[in-house]
Homo-oligomer: A and B are copies of this chain.
Amino acid sequence: MAQFDLPLEQLQQYSPDVQRPADLVEFWTTTVAEARATGDAPVLARVETGLTEVVVDDVTFPGFGGHPVKAWLVRPARADGPLPVVVEMLGYGGGRGLPHEHLTWAAAGVAHLVMDTRGQGGHWGSGGETGDPVGRSAGVAGFMTAGIDDPHDHYYRRFYTDGVRAVDAVRQVPGLDPARVAVTGVSQGGGGCVAVASVLSMVGDDVAAAMPNVPFLSHFRRAVQIVDSRPYGEITQYLSVRRDPAVEATVWNTLSYLDGANLARHAASPALFSVALMDVTCPPSTVYAAYNAWGAETGAEVTKKIDVYPYNDHEGGQAYRFPEQLAWLRTHAS
């Protein structure tokens, strides 16, 4: 079935009951505080790219645990005045690649930080350069079950925290406007962006806008029930081997701390989502689970919008997203 998930009208109302840890906010505020206590200021090194209209810095900033995380910072060559910034997190398996792959935001006069993903960077594109110094529990090759026994140990706690620290980092760079930082990303990057915006709202440091596309890492439990694709399928594979109900309970408990559908309830920044109705990697109901929850705990009306691509699989809107995002950015971060 091409549009295999719920019909659009039901998706728009979809508000599932997701297992929610009582100490979610405490977990994350502590995590952020600990991370901010480590590492120095970001280090920028100008890169020779052959490009004449943009300048690129090779950034190293302290992520989770103070671990060094790489990023590209791409800016227009002839900017004046502090620039708005878009912090981008990346899709599963990818890395920051080469600088000239990231020119769109700079061409629009916006600074663009492309954050490398720790331990990934080998599956597609042009590679990454950031290792993950933390070891892993027994599990499935991949990142969904790395540290699955405890939310403190889980890979995605580190990934999300790296994203928070990336925002912290750009807010310290001269020439960038700390009040106009947006976060974006596709798939894993979209899930990261949901988490980073939400966690930053928890600690009172809202971003100017969150712009996730076809976000991953939301409503894990439904995902494994309706699709068998990867990466959600790594959870399935893990549980298909460890057939112990206690293990299953541990898995769902750990993931509940990382679930975008839980985190999004705390988000207070204006959000522009996108979703694809034929997406068998990040099924639309899991995306709506985060979108419909966005800001629910804030006690306020949070501005949000979701663009729907009825005929796309996980590629979603691709290049059609940039004009929408640029307009959103100019509305909410100018």
Closest chain B residue, CB of each to CB of A316: B243
Partner of A121 from B104, B108, B138, B224 at Cβ < 8 Å: B138
Contact B2 A239 (CB under 8 A): no
A226 cross-chain contacts in B, Cβ below 8 A: 1-3
Size range of the chain A interface in the assembly? 35 or more
CB of A236 within 8 Å of the partner chain? yes
CB of A27 within 8 Å of the partner chain? no
Contact A134 B135 (CB under 8 A): yes
Interface digits, A88-108 against B, CB 8 Å rule (1 contact, 0 not)?
000001010110110110111
Alpha-carbon separation in the docked complex, A109 to B54 (Å)? 10
A53 → B minimal CB distance (Å): 5
Main secondary structure of the interface of A (DSSP, over half): loop
Partner of A122 from B109, B141, B315 at Cβ < 8 Å: B141
CB of A63 within 8 Å of the partner chain? no
Chain A positions near chain B (C-beta within 8 angstroms): 1-4, 49-54, 76-78, 93, 95, 97-98, 100-101, 103-104, 106-109, 116, 118-143, 145, 224-228, 233-234, 236-244, 248, 278, 309-313, 315, 317-320, 322-323, 326-327
- 16 new A-B pairs (CB below 8 Å) besides A126-B241, A228-B278? A2-B233, A2-B236, A51-B108, A97-B319, A100-B104, A103-B104, A103-B107, A121-B138, A129-B138, A131-B137, A131-B138, A141-B141, A236-B278, A239-B311, A240-B311, A240-B315
